């Protein structure tokens, strides 16, 4: 099957987020592979985003999990902090690339992960560093940050090829078009 193509950043983000919802549903249903129900969830979500009936938002359950765990473990590697001094603050969109200090852009990270990530795109760095996809929460947060940035800067309807000429705080090439099967995806 040929790889799906997208005309705009919005289409790519909607597709990626719809796929993420498919993964979340499959994991919640205890599925090891995607089936017809999963693909129907993705299709419904993608259509609703494209038609403007749904908006990109955090997956509620993952937001609660982040709040429960954020003070105790690295958002990237999961290392448990034995003391608050072990935690550093990392910006999903690096400040040097225009990332803000708003809570939606901040996660707690161990010093090793924070220094390794530096000013790299979070998603691209994570896959290169850990050779796997980030958790559903990190992925949803990453996509939401891109969506909010694109919306605030009137980029949602931009053709993807024009994005390469812009100085963006994210690498749009790292936006995932597909995800591994649920049994290989971190919750």
DSSP string, 48-77: HHHTTSS-----HHHHHHHHHHTTTB-TTT
Residue-level pLDDT at 184? 58
Point out the residues of the chain with pLDDT beneath 50: 64, 67, 187
Q: What is the pLDDT of residue 62?
A: 54
Burial of 14 (0-12, 13-18, 19+ CB in 10 A): buried
Instruction: Count Cα atoms within 13 angstroms, Cβ side, for 8.
Output: 12
pLDDT number for residue 85: 81
β-partners of residue 108 are 89
**Which residue do the tokens 């994210």 mark?**
170
pLDDT tens digits for 32-86? 889 999 999 999 999 999 999 988 865 555 554 554 555 678 989 989 888 878 8
- The pLDDT score that the predictor gives to residue 185 is 59
Token digits for 122? 């979070």
Would you state the structure tokens that stand for residue 81, as one six-digit string? Answer: 């902090």
Give the pLDDT of residue 1.
60
């Amino acid at each position: 099957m040929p790889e799906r193509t997208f005309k705009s950043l919005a289409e790519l983000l909607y597709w990626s987020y719809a796929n993420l919802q498919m993964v979340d549903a499959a994991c919640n249903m205890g599925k090891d592979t995607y089936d017809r129900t999963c693909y129907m969830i993705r299709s419904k979500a993608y259509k609703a985003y494209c038609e403007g009936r749904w908006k990109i938002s955090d997956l509620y359950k993952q937001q609660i999990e982040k709040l429960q765990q954020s003070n105790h473990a690295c958002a990237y590697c999961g290392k448990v902090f034995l003391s608050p001094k072990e935690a550093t603050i990392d910006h999903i969109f690096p400040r040097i690339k225009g990332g803000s200090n708003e809570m939606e852009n901040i996660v707690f990270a161990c010093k090793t992960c924070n220094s390794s990530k530096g000013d790299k795109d979070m998603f691209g760095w994570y896959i290169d560093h850990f050779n796997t996809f980030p958790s559903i929460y990190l992925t949803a947060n990453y996509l939401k940050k891109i969506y909010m940035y694109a919306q605030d800067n009137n980029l949602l309807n931009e053709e993807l090829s024009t994005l390469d000429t812009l100085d963006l705080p994210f690498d749009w090439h790292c936006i995932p078009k597909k995800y591994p099967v649920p049994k290989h995806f971190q919750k």
